[in-house]
Chain A
Amino acid sequence: MEERVMRLMQKGSLACSEDTSIRDVAQIMVVNSTHYCTVMNQNHEVMGIISARSILKAFGRDLDQTKAKDILVPYTFTITPSTPLKEAIQLMDKRKIEHLIVVSDRPGSKAILGLLHVEDIVDRMARDEERQPS
């Protein structure tokens, strides 16, 4: 059977609002030891994601004045739990994104269900290899 995103995605996500300052975003990431932070607006709709790489764009600017919405990578493509895993991996590779936001299957839904991380895919690959008799 074809594997789907729901097998590997993690439920829930770390989020900040669009007006959070970059210094706070950096602190959220360091304290939680994650390499991403999703950005939501007031209606809990997903706006985009800030990764460790995109935060570099703000380096040299005033970290307290720069807001999350200034540097976020906008959310433009839809990944749902039933998307085939292969398709998600291709998207990650093409866009060079390490964390994909997963939203609900419902049309028009913009609430975050969870995230698909690149680590979980590598972890899965390592475990698949261990399982195979060598």
Chain B
Amino acid sequence: MMRVCDLMDRDVIFCYPDDSVKDVVRMMKANQFRPVVVVHESGEVWGIVTRLAVIRFYGEDLEQTRAEDVMRPYRIEVDPQWPIEKAIELMKRTKYEHLIIVDPHAGPRRPIGILCSFDIVHYMSGIETGHYEQILKMPQAWPTSSP
């Protein structure tokens, strides 16, 4: 049986509620545009800043806007031991693109991973992880972004 922890991305990028959106955007760019988890100082999950939430502020002063104003509050608790079907049902129902996985043992809602809808597509395609990893990591022949 496939579990959530087998598919999730263990690399969680996080920021604090007081960080400016400018820093969040920079972080996203440095991490392949993955979502940024907003955590409280105690390490507890507060919310998530997705790409769609950030572009709302296009052309505005990012320095003055804080991550707290942009984030979507996040209250769902997903256990890493859940079967993957349960997580997919939750994604379908909530229409969330990303689920934050919290550690069930280490105190209050500490994030340990992110499950993205693309991870599920990977699972559905039946292509083994690692098989195409080399191809994907090759430098792009034509850089896609133009100035």
Interface residues of A (CB under 8 A from B): 10, 22-23, 26-27, 29-31, 33, 35, 51-53, 55-60, 63, 85-86, 89, 92-93, 96, 98, 118-126, 129-130
Q: Which stretch (B10-18, B20-28, B75-83, B102-110) binds chain A?
A: B20-28
**Is B69's beta carbon under 8 Å from chain A?**
no
List the B side residues contacting A33 at CB < 8 Å: 136
A98-B92 contact given A86-B59, A123-B145, CB 8 Å threshold? no
Is the pair B116, A52 in contact by a Cβ cutoff of 8 Å? yes
Is the pair B33, A122 in contact by a Cβ cutoff of 8 Å? yes
Contact of B51 among A26, A122, A130 (CB under 8 A): A122
List the B side residues contacting A22 at CB < 8 Å: 124
List the A side residues contacting B126 at CB < 8 Å: 23, 26-27
A125-B117 contact given A23-B124, A33-B136, CB 8 Å threshold? no
Is the pair A55, B124 in contact by a Cβ cutoff of 8 Å? yes
Nearest Cβ distance between residue B73 and chain A, in whole angstroms? 17
List the A side residues contacting B88 at CB < 8 Å: 56, 59-60
How many contacting A-B pairs (Cβ < 8 A)?
111
A93-B120 contact given A123-B145, A129-B22, CB 8 Å threshold? no
Contact of B62 among A30, A58, A96, A129 (CB under 8 A): A129
Nearest Cβ distance between residue B87 and chain A, in whole angstroms? 10
Separation of A23 and B127 alpha carbons in the complex (Å) = 10
Separation of A125 and B56 alpha carbons in the complex (Å) = 11
Is the pair A89, B91 in contact by a Cβ cutoff of 8 Å? no
Is the pair B95, A53 in contact by a Cβ cutoff of 8 Å? yes
Within B113-147, which residues are at the interface with A (CB < 8 Å)?
A: 116-118, 120-122, 124-127, 132, 135-136, 144-145
**Is B6's beta carbon under 8 Å from chain A?**
no
Within B47-100, which residues are at the interface with A (CB < 8 Å)?
A: 51-52, 54-59, 62-63, 85, 88, 91-92, 95, 97
Is the pair A92, B127 in contact by a Cβ cutoff of 8 Å? no
Separation of A89 and B56 alpha carbons in the complex (Å) = 7
User: Closest residue to B136 on the A side, CB-wise?
Assistant: A33
